[in-house]
Amino acid sequence: MDFSIKTIDAKTGVSSIKSGCIAVGVFENKKLSDTARELDRKGAITAAMKSGDISGKPGSTLLLRDVDGISAERVLLVGMGSDDAVTEKNFLTAAQAVAKVFASLGTNDALIALPVDKMKDRDTAWAVRATVIALRDADYRFDALKSKKEPQQAGVRKVAIAASAADTAALKTVVAQSVALANGMDLTKDLGNLPGNVCTPTYLADTAKKLAKEFKLGVEVLDRKQLEALKMGSFLSVTRGTDEPPKFIVLKHMGGKAKDAPVVLVGKGITFDTGGISLKPGASMDEMKYDMCGAASVLGTFRAIAEMDLKLNVIGVIPSCENMPSGRATKPGDIVTSMSGQTIEILNTDAEGRLILCDALTYVERFKPAAVIDIATLTGACITALGHHNTGLFTRHDDAHDELADDLLAAGKATGDTAWRMPIEDAYQEQLKSNFADMANIGGPPGGSITAACFLERYTRKYTWAHLDIAGTAWKSGAAKGATGRPVPLLTAYLLDKAQATNGRKSA
């Protein structure tokens, strides 16, 4: 699907534009948007509204053909809700409705001219990005492993978004960035949706290498012997029970100044999680192929920022392996030594994500990072706490970490990829006490997502750090089963803001 910005002449408007379809907004009180009013030269749209053929409620649609007095073949009326102010939710509902109709239209091209001037608390750039992402999300298919592919509907393949002459240049950049973001989300979805027998640690490493080759990124993949030399005893304890070799992937996008401290993204890459000896129940275990969505989101974010040519130094670190039961597998009660030298009593082998992340978080000290963000499908407890709407955000409570948390929360709010800050306090650390090691890898059921974050926090005290628990947001279950591409929008928006702030300070 191709996207572009169409500059609308203030004098001639959209009525003379030749297009297979023009999508315009209408409101609940039978009022028309300015663009709809312009197309209503012979009263066809007003008549449709008065007849009740379209209510104007958010997401309602009506397709009109051969409207007199205009050049477009079709006009798609789209309900926007109240005309007082179009809310974010109503605009997204409208954009999704447009995407659904466009998928089955018998034309190749269309123009979207929704009333972005009526948006409440959002600007035109936000509306354009939301439109692109909504249409790309509706267009996404994952049928690569089906012997008989789903028939691809023709539909609209070229989408132009209406803009004023004053906004055109800026919105062209927004469209390019939105397409890059959608490409990154698609990569994250594809990796998440692949089964564990295809998307192995080696597959993730090969994907990183392909990205590096395509976008001229730096890449390094460490194997078992190198991990042993680094004394990553915690990471290696997780991979003991599997035949698949572990991979430790380091990806570098060095778009900033050579001396600028990088932002480091650390993604959990458990390509399949049986729970190990602490075996999971069989029901829904197939969804544990999604336990590498942290890694997938790092790769997807790198895909997006590389296409954008982001002027910022960003390093991705992905510890990846399987967690399987076998005669070699780590047992409950075993004690391992992490790369940091701290010892861990493994009370539950199904709490393995923190065991691979802690060594990765120690490894990244060498980069002297400006900030480190780890992303992991870490705990079911986070789903219990926040459901499937918000990602859990954890970090320490001081000025530097509060600023990082605020920036991440703002990026999530700007993109609709929202997060919610959870507590992380010394009182919770008490639950990780062990009689036999420096710490246990679990703290019991109470506050399970918090104690998991507290475990990771012990390995991050040399830099500014945040943890994103995406267990509830990285994929959907049931009939809509599939990876969501989150939190690529949040991470990409955060990095864009960081690049703008960094480069703005230097030019000032």
> Mind telling me the catalytic residues?
280, 354
Could you give the CA distance from residue 91 to residue 115 in angstroms, rounded to a whole number? 9
Cβ pair 179, 131 in contact under 8 A: no
DSSP-derived secondary structure letter, 367: G
Three-class SS state of 265 = strand
If you write DSSP's letter for every residue of 411-475 in order, what string do you get?
Answer: HHHHHT--EEE----HHHHGGG--SSSSEES---STTHHHHHHHHHHTT-TTS-EEEEE-TTTSE
Could you give the CA distance from residue 256 to residue 316 in angstroms, rounded to a whole number? 15
Could you give the CA distance from residue 421 to residue 193 in angstroms, rounded to a whole number? 28
If you write DSSP's letter for every residue of 131-156 in order, what string do you get?
Answer: HHHHHHHHH----TT-SSPPPPP---
Q: What are phi and psi of 135, to 5 degrees?
A: -70, -40
Could you give the CA distance from residue 284 to residue 286 in angstroms, rounded to a whole number? 5
Alpha-helix runs per DSSP H in 58-155 = 88-102, 124-139
Three-class SS state of 301 = helix
Closest CA to 239 of 284, 202, 186, 185: 202
Cβ pair 311, 262 in contact under 8 A: no
Could you give the CA distance from residue 330 to residue 159 in angstroms, rounded to a whole number? 53
Q: What are phi and psi of 267, to 5 degrees?
A: -115, 130
Could you give the CA distance from residue 331 to residue 334 in angstroms, rounded to a whole number? 6
Could you give the CA distance from residue 43 to residue 469 in angstroms, rounded to a whole number? 53
Cβ pair 76, 63 in contact under 8 A: yes
Q: Which residue has the tokens 């979805």?
A: 189
Cβ pair 305, 238 in contact under 8 A: no
Residues in the chain: 508
